[in-house]
Structure 1
Amino acid sequence: MRKVTLADVSAAAGVGVATVSRALGDHPDVSQVTRDRVRTIARELGYRPSVAARALRSGGYQAISVVVPDAAWGWWEPVVRAAFAAAAEEGYQLLVHPVAGAAGGAASVVRSLANVPTEGVVVISVPDQDGVRRACDDAALSAVAIDDTSRTVRFPTVSVANRHGAREVVRHLIAQGRRRIAMLVTDFNSADVANWGDGLFVDERLAGYRDALEEAGVAFDEALVIPCASPFDETAKEWPELRRALADGLGVDAVFCVADLMAVAAIRSVRAEGLRVPEDVSIAGFDDERAALLTDPPLTTVRQPYEQMGRLAVELLLRSIRGDELDESRIEIEPTLVVRESTAVAR
């Protein structure tokens, strides 16, 4: 059925569209008799006013936006849910805008928000810091980033304390008697890393790995840091780079994956070399996304503070919208170690 419009109500009531609009909106210039007659006709015709238009007219519509990255890796989904709840508590709608392969990436998505009734934007993962910053300024939008991929900071930025989290998980492996701990990292020379900036999170997690070794008196061995191509490829069966390291007799007794998505292929690689997980080789990750619960065995990992990051980003954004001057600096939230069956005491 065709949607009933103000023009339809106007024709049936024999008054102008403006009068219909004022009658439905309790405008004082319209008599009670006309108001009642217009509302009766509108009800009989099945007219339903636009909630959004009504809110915009009354000044009661408040919205902020979040731009999510163009990647299959969905770690940001619980962040968005927490941001949605935090925005709702403050009377704001949260509009979600995926990059989804848009030409120009996140910057072009932000520019398009100039035509959207939104007051500010949270951008998740910002490899193009300068471009996105310019787009926010051009659209006159307050902005906050949730990002740990780029060394450059051009926004108030929320991220996980990557170095702290990596240190905690490697400490856990060492406490279980593991000493030959390999770390699987991103090979930025071969991987598709368009969404991951200059790899700050990888360097920070590697630094935490080295911190834990040093404090335990375990010598750092460069050969145990293993770069892998396409580390976020969910279809990867094995990591050839890890299999070669195991076959070369490096004596690996644990593997720390820079991200949970690498863990399934790591487990397969270890088993392909005739080793058991976790009896012979413990395996741990970082992020605690859904993949961590689907591995066999379930994965020991570092849980990112997704809910806190989403809520803090909204809090900062609303402060900016309300006039607070915020520093273009990074706020790091400590993650939590989650121990599951993929790690065990060394035999």
Structure 2
Amino acid sequence: MVRRVTLTDISREAGVGAATVSRALGDHPDVSAATRERVREVAQRLGYRPSVTARALRSGGYQTISAIVPDAEWGWWEPVVRAAFEAAAEAGFQLMVHPVAGAEGGVVAVIDGLVNVPTEGVIVIGTPDQHAVRQACDRISFPAVAIDDTSRNIRLPTVSPRNRMGAREVVQHLLSAGYRKIALGRAPTDGDPRWGEGLFIEERVAGYLDALEEAGISVDEDLIVGSADAWDESRTLWPELDALLTSGRRFDALFCIADLMAAPALRTLRAHGLRVPDDVAVAGFDDERAALLLDPQLTTSRQPYRAMGVTAVELLLRAIRDESVPVERHELETELIVRSST
């Protein structure tokens, strides 16, 4: 984490006392205009952040951190934020939530705006570009933690689910139930800026392949079904899956790398007269609300939403206390949830 610029740093660089720096930044009348201008120029060049929170902490007031939530239609992050809020409160901190919500400049602009907010650090959820986030946080000397499974190259301490192991466990469940022709519904790893480098997609595909290999089942490339619009759960049909079924190819189970893909999968299977799970079992990944709203309800791998929120808060508070927090990925266990779709 980058060290916060202090009044002492500005004092040394500007060649005046720390008390003068404090008065200059606070518009005290006994500081000349020239000194005030020189001090402010040095403060800006060094990246000093006038911390409202620091003053509040000295007087026993606010202890606050922030969470930036992504600009996406589906709120998978809501239970993460709820858990983070509870963990922060238990540590005596408040948590403020800042939605990107189409803000011009995206998440970086939201971080830049935190310079005027009484907060001591930030949790960035679902960022597609950790490099830009790291730079933005460095500009205002902000400790930051990411909850992110899209980035291959991380620049922040990062909390993620164990996607590969979770997908492997779902496919192992299908295999243990006797299914052998298991299709994979996957999304492209490029073309959607919300999903960054698409690491979670690759890892879930790898988990599917791991399970088949361990069972001694050859991969049938024809049963790996792409989707040009994987995140639109409202579609009546999944065109690529519809084309596969129209060609006469059959399978006895389908693993979708995200729960949202299961909704058009179920509609497409029914359009071809196939019953779930009698003819084809269907499973997903995430265990977001869509998994419970489908008919039949969806077997899936549940992301460790609560644990991700709690772990992110713990890492951020360590950084705020100036403890060493390495830039590494903290992967948390998923949980297989078996429901009637399998």
Report TM bin, short chain. 0.7 to 0.9
Deviation at 1:187, TM superposition (A): 2.7
Partner of 1:265: 264
Write out per-residue CA displacement over residues 42-86 of structure 1, whole angstroms, 9 at most, x where no aligned residue.
xxxxxxxxxx9x967833211000000000121100000000000
Does the aligned pair in 1 maintain the 2:103–2:110 contact within 8 Å? Answer: yes
Distance 2:170 2:178 in 1: 13
Residue 250 (structure 1) shift: 2.2
Residue in structure 1 matched with residue 324 of structure 2 by the alignment? 325
CA root-mean-square deviation: 1.6
For residues 247 and 173 of structure 1, what CA distance do their matches in structure 2 show?
24
Partners of 1:246 and 1:252 within 8 A in 2: no
Which amino acid is 1:313 matched to? A
Partner Cα distance (1:221, 1:198) in 2: 26
- Count matched residues: 290
Alignment-derived partner of residue 209 in structure 1 = 208
CA distance in 1, matches of 2:263, 2:157: 35
Could you tell me which runs of 5 or more consecutive residues in structure 1 were left unpaired when the two chains were aligned: 1-51
Matches within 5 A, 1:88-127: 88-127=89-128
1:62 matched residue in structure 2: 63
TM-score normalised by L of structure 1: 0.81
Secondary structure in 1 aligned to 2:210? helix
Q: Which residue of 1 aligns with 2:306?
A: 307
Residue type matched to 1:295 in 2?
L
What percentage of aligned pairs have identical amino acids?
62
| Equivalent in the alignment of 2:137 | 136
Question: How far did residue 233 of structure 1 move?
Answer: 1.4
What is the CA deviation profile of residues 99-118 of structure 1, one whole-angstrom value per residue up to 9, with x for unaligned ones?
11112211111111011010
1:133-282 matches, within 5 Å, as 133-188=134-189, 193-282=192-281
The answer to whether structure 1 residue 293 and structure 2 residue 286 are counterparts is: no
Structure 2 CA distance, aligned partners of 1:90 and 1:180?
A: 50
- Cα distance, 1:287 vs. partner? 0.4
Structure 2 segments unaligned to the other structure (5+ residues): 1-52
Contact kept? 1:166, 1:205, Cα under 8 Å: yes
Residue of structure 1 in register with 2:29 after alignment = none
- The alpha carbon displacement at 1:235 in A equals 2.1
Q: Deviations over 1:176-199 (max 9, x none)?
A: 11111111111345x5x2210010
* CA distance in structure 1 between the partners assigned to 2:245 and 2:138 by the alignment: 51
CA–CA distance in 1 between the matches of 2:180 and 2:242? 19
Which secondary structure state, in structure 2, belongs to the residue aligned with residue 228 of structure 1?
coil
Give 2:277's aligned amino acid.
P
Looking at structure 2, the residues matched to 172 and 57 of structure 1 have their Cα atoms a distance apart, in angstroms, of 55
Q: Is the Cα–Cα contact under 8 Å of residues 189 and 202 in structure 2 kept in the other structure? A: no
Q: CA deviation at 1:333?
A: 0.4
Partner in structure 1 of residue 88 of structure 2:
87
Report what 1:33 is aligned to. none
What amino acid does structure 2 have at the position aligned with 1:342?
S
Deviation readout 1:234-266 (Å, 9 max, x if unpaired): 322220111111222222111111111111110
Contact 2:112/2:136 (CA < 8 Å) preserved in 1?
yes
Do 1:55 and 1:61's aligned partners in 2 also have CA atoms closer than 8 Å?
yes
